[in-house]
A and B are shown apart, each in its own frame.
Chain A
Amino acid sequence: AQRVTQPEKLLSVFKGAPVELKCNYSYSGSPELFWYVQYSRQRLQLLLRHISRESIKGFTADLNKGETSFHLKKPFAQEEDSAMYYCALSGGGYNKLIFGAGTRLAVHP
């Protein structure tokens, strides 16, 4: 079964601390993985996708096929990173995304 698991509902850190938001997936083929972010009162927006291999706003994510993980990392959290983060999987095009439950990141001053 296709599934995305984000084990943490809430991750609370202080400004300047490292952040890792966990994402594990279950998929039989070669998935495409994404991180979407929703800031307060804003729309859901793409943060990054694994095929791009880029760093956005200091965030990176590496696809680990052995561990079926796609954890989102940032070495030094900023207050403006506070948001809801969703890991998502696409298995075959058509942008049919399977979302995880989301992790709320709270960065405290």
Chain B
Amino acid sequence: EPEVTQTPSHQVTQMGQEVILRCVPISNHLYFYWYRQILGQKVEFLVSFYNNEISEKSEIFDDQFSVERPDGSNFTLKIRSTKLEDSAMYFCASSVDNYEKLFFGSGTQLSVL
């Protein structure tokens, strides 16, 4: 079965640094998402992306966050100036359309020191 691929699996960064988390969605999927899970907390929606623009975003997704589809295969999440509280597991997901089954990647564990 096709899978959503995320790289790296672990990312350690210093507070204030920029990080880019990378995702390769399933090739025929049109909708892309980022979720995150802070240790011990719920999985939280960050943003959805379709047709090269943000469809919806949560209150968490402030100006420090941005998403991009730089080419035909990658989908990235950028955090401009990381804070300690950005430490979390970040999940990318994709779907054929916005009501269909979500396929999740295995996640990137971001640690901000």
Contact = CB atoms under 8 A, between A and B. Distances in A.
Contacts, number: 50
Interface residues of B, number: 27
Given A44-B43, A86-B43, A101-B42, A95 B104 contact: no
Interface residues of A, number: 18
Nearest to A49: B101
A107 to B, nearest CB: 23
Contact of A97 (B3, B45, B107): B45
B11 interface: no
Contacts of A49: 101
A88 B104 CA distance: 14
Contacts of B93: 95
B1 to A, nearest CB: 10
Contacts of B58: 96
B98 A95 contact: yes
Given A43-B106, A94-B98, 12 more contacts: A43-B105, A49-B101, A93-B99, A95-B31, A95-B93, A96-B56, A96-B58, A97-B35, A98-B45, A99-B44, A101-B41, A101-B42
26 contacts: A42-B106, A43-B4, A43-B104, A43-B105, A43-B106, A44-B43, A44-B91, A44-B104, A45-B104, A46-B101, A88-B43, A93-B99, A94-B31, A94-B56, A95-B33, A95-B48, A95-B102, A96-B48, A96-B56, A96-B58, A97-B35, A97-B45, A97-B102, A100-B42, A101-B41, A101-B42
